[in-house]
Amino acid sequence: MATENQRQPSKLEKPINGKRLLFFSLPLQGHMTPMLQLADILHSKGFSITFIHTKYNSPNPSNYPHFTFQPISDDLSEAETSGLSVFDLAYLINVKCVAPFRDCLDQLFSDSPEERPFAGLISDPALHFTREVAKSFQLQRFVLRTSGVGAFRAFSSFPLLQEKGYLPIQDSQLEELVAELPPLRVKDLPVINVPDLEKFYKLIASLIEEAKTSSGVIFNSFEELENSAIDALHEGFPAPIFPIGPFHKYFPATSSSFLKPDESSISWLDKQEPKSVIYVSFGSIAAVEEKEFLEIAWGLANSKCRFLWVIRPGSVNGLDWHEALPKGFLDMLDGRGHIVKWASQLEVLAHPAVGAFWTHNGWNSTLESISEGVPMICMPCFADQMVNARYVTYSWKVGVELRNGLERKNIERAIRRLMVEEEGEEIRKRALDLKEKAKSTLTQSGASFKSLESLISCLSSS
Ligand code: UDP
């Protein structure tokens, strides 16, 4: 039976400005969070929101009582999804959700008294089938690309990179600059370690095609941050581009975490000195080997700095949680470290006690850190994280790179560069400048403000 927030289409609210929007996200934390934030932003501009979602990793409707949620069957069993890579999951959803998505639109359209009940669909370009389905309903389709523009540009250059011999990556070329994609080196290209590279290239090609054929590509980024990548993308890219981020700074964000944040993160931070803590988290997907995990632990311990460390259950390959930590590890640190399974990251990064963020450079984490002026230690693991880390360390110069082997000595060195040495002070100043830019882009004279206005006008004109 439908709950209050999973109302049937016939009960759709009458939209304030006569416009309803449909949303459909890939069910992954780093995709769902910005999609919900975007829906909230557009709701605040007068649109009514219908949020279509899979049952797998479904959002919590009670956090968004102002949206209508529409679950669709995904036919994904727990056995099928456990241990599945992100790319295999995306692949499976693209196979299994076509018919349920079509049925859902069918129902929504046939139950509505209006001839054109929806102003448009905003979907994830990784959901390739939404193009054909939206077309058959004559539904205007926009996409939200949840990476940065720099990374998107690199993905869209894959055919060229293959033609020029940069891809597949050869170990002997890692340090080479990619002349066609400054400032990237070969080792910064957004690849993943999969057995079937052709399948990966095909998925990326479909994602780019979805974006190219849309009515517009929305980015959780801003012109003042990524102007050169945005300018470069404009050249020859057929669809309009709307960088309107940072999304979470429009108003206090509602929680969209699949995991429950541990509130002790904040109460522990409350007891620490300003800028004294390094926050460590590698997002919702990245995982490390047990050996690397122990190097992280000893690197943190030996740095003598205070740390808040998110160890997500399952984020150490082969372990349930942190059972490989040496016995008495935390006691030995005498209160210098605090470990949780999940944190309220936005609150943590905005906390005065946090002085640096050791991150995997997922795009959300990167942008959240930039928005709070927190310098980063960059440890990218795969895909767009490599590109983001390069921009952070080389272009924006608001972080240091930790790539040459995950060894305790390197870790200790990177932490001290940021937290103790003069270099860290310079980096912190630049991070604060960037924070100001992230703030001012949302004001009336800012680029994101203007871009949002033009997006609204496109959405309203259908
Ligand atoms: N996040 C969180 N608590 C944590 C770790 C991560 O709330 O303990 C959130 C973080 O704020 C971000 C998202 O999870 O919005 C992770 O997205 P990102 O793009 O950084 O990385 P991904 O998980 O997609 O690799």
Give the domain CATH number at 395: 3.40.50.2000
Residue 2 is predicted with a pLDDT of 35
Contact 404, 393 (CB under 8 A): no
Q: Given ligand 1 and candidates 341, 358, 365, which is best to mutate, with the most ligand atoms within 8 Å of its CB?
A: 365
Is residue 112 in some structural domain?
yes
Angle at 126 between CA 240 and CA 232, to 5 degrees: 35
For ligand 1, say whether the CB of 448 is within 6 Å of any of its atoms.
Answer: no
Question: Is residue 256 in some structural domain?
Answer: no
**C-alpha pair distances (Å), 419 with each of 152, 238, 306, 424:** 32, 44, 10, 6
The residue contributing the CA closest to ligand 1 atom 15 is: 364
Same domain, 448 and 430: no
Number of domains in the chain: 2
CA torsion sign for 417, 419, 423, 426 is positive
What does the block give as tokens for 255? Answer: 């929680």
* b/e per residue 275-303 (b: at least 16 CB within 10 A): bbbbbbbbbbbbbbeeebbbbbbbbbbeb
| Helices 447-460 and 223-234: angle between axes, nearest 10 degrees | 50
Question: Could you tell me the distance, in angstroms and rounded to a whole number, from the CA of residue 346 to the centre of ligand 1?
Answer: 9
Spacing, Cα 371 to ligand 1 middle (Å): 14
Q: Does 29 sit in the ligand 1 pocket, CB within 6 Å?
A: yes
User: Does the N-terminal peptide bond of residue 246 adopt cis geometry, omega within 30 degrees of 0?
Assistant: yes
The encoded tokens of residue 40 equal: 């909230």
- Verify that 400 and 450 share a domain, yes or no: no
C-alpha triplet 216, 219, 224: angle, nearest 5°: 120
Pocket residue to mutate for ligand 1, from 29, 85, 268, 370, most atoms within 8 A of Cβ: 29
CB 215 near ligand 1, within 6 Å: no
In DSSP terms, which residues pair with 307 in a beta bridge? 278, 337
* Nearest protein CA to atom 18 of ligand 1, as residue: 362
Domain span at residue 308 reads: 264-439
299 shares its domain with 242: no
Same domain assignment for residues 38 and 105: yes
Q: Please check whether residue 258 lies inside any domain of the structure.
A: no
Nearest residue (CA) to ligand 1, atom 6: 283
Q: Which of 359, 376, 353 is nearest to 431 (CA)?
A: 376
320 and 241 assigned to the same domain:
no
Q: Are residues 377 and 421 in the same domain?
A: yes
What is the reported pLDDT for 4? 35
- Residue 17: predicted pLDDT: 55
Q: What distance in angstroms lies between residue 162's CA and the mean position of ligand 1's atoms? A: 31
Is the CB of residue 297 less than 8 Å from the CB of residue 270? no
Is 285 close to ligand 1, i.e. is its CB under 6 Å away? yes
Q: How far apart are CA 457 and CA 140, in angstroms?
A: 13
Residues 218 and 103 in one domain: yes
Q: Is there a domain that residue 60 lies in? A: yes
Same domain, 450 and 425: no
Whether omega before 168 lies within 30 degrees of 0, making that bond cis, reads: yes
User: Does residue 306 lie in a domain region?
Assistant: yes
Bridge pairing between strands 277-281 and 354-359? parallel
Please give the Cα distance from 186 to 112 (Å, whole number): 51
Query: Does a structural domain hold residue 35?
Result: yes
- Domain co-membership, 426 together with 454: no
Instruction: Tell whether ligand 1 has an atom less than 6 A from the beta carbon of residue 310.
Output: yes
**Do 95 and 226 have their domain in common?**
yes
Per-residue pLDDT of the chain (462 residues; tens, 9 = 90+): 333 333 333 345 555 555 999 999 999 999 999 999 999 999 999 999 999 999 999 999 999 999 999 999 998 888 888 888 888 899 999 999 999 999 999 999 998 888 889 999 999 999 999 999 999 999 999 999 999 999 999 999 999 999 999 999 999 999 999 999 999 999 999 999 888 899 999 999 999 999 999 999 999 999 999 999 999 999 989 999 999 999 999 998 888 999 999 999 999 999 999 999 999 999 999 999 999 999 999 999 999 999 999 999 999 999 999 999 999 999 999 999 999 999 999 999 999 999 999 999 999 999 999 999 999 999 999 999 999 999 999 999 999 999 777 999 999 999 999 999 999 999 999 999 999 999 999 999 999 999 999 999 999 987
Q: Give the closest residue (by CA) to ligand 1 atom 13.
A: 30
Residue 257 in any domain: the answer is: no
**456 and 366 both lie in a single domain:** no
Per DSSP, helices labelled H in 237-383 are: 264-270, 290-303, 329-332, 345-349, 363-372
On whether residue 293 sits in a domain, the answer given is: yes
pLDDT value of position 5: 37
Q: Is the CB of 33 under 6 A from ligand 1?
A: yes
Do 191 and 320 belong together in one domain?
no
> Which tokens belong to 256?
């969209």
Maximum CA extent, the chain: 68
Residues 209, 199: Cα–Cα separation, whole Å: 15
